């Protein structure tokens, strides 16, 4: 079972090949420090339309 998250993104072009990405991630589940500890690690992967990382 994966935790449910709320995501909000603000994307701003800097140059033709560079974007500024601001990502806000909020937990949408009850955080229990006994179960989850002090933090939770996530991978964030960004791809272009050609699925290139």
Note the pLDDT of residue 45.
85
Q: What is residue 15's three-state secondary structure? A: strand
The model's confidence at residue 4, banded by pLDDT at 50, 70 and 90, is: confident
**The model's pTM:** 0.58
Q: What was the pLDDT predicted at 27? A: 84
CATH number at residue 1: 2.60.40.150
Q: Which residues form the domain of 27? A: 1-53
Q: Are strands 18-27 and 5-15 parallel, antiparallel or unpaired?
A: antiparallel
**Strand positions, DSSP E, the chain:** 5-15, 18-27
- The total of structural domains in the chain comes to 1
pLDDT at residue 35, as a whole number? 83
Q: What is the pLDDT of residues 34-43, one digit of tens each?
A: 988 888 888 8
Q: Greatest CA separation found in the chain?
A: 46
More confident residue, 21 or 27: 21
């Amino acid at each position: 079972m994966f935790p449910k998250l709320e995501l909000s993104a603000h994307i701003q072009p800097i140059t033709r090949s560079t974007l500024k990405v601001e990502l806000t991630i909020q937990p949408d589940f009850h955080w229990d420090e006994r179960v989850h500890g002090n933090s939770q690690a996530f991978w964030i992967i960004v791809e272009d339309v050609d699925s290139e990382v």
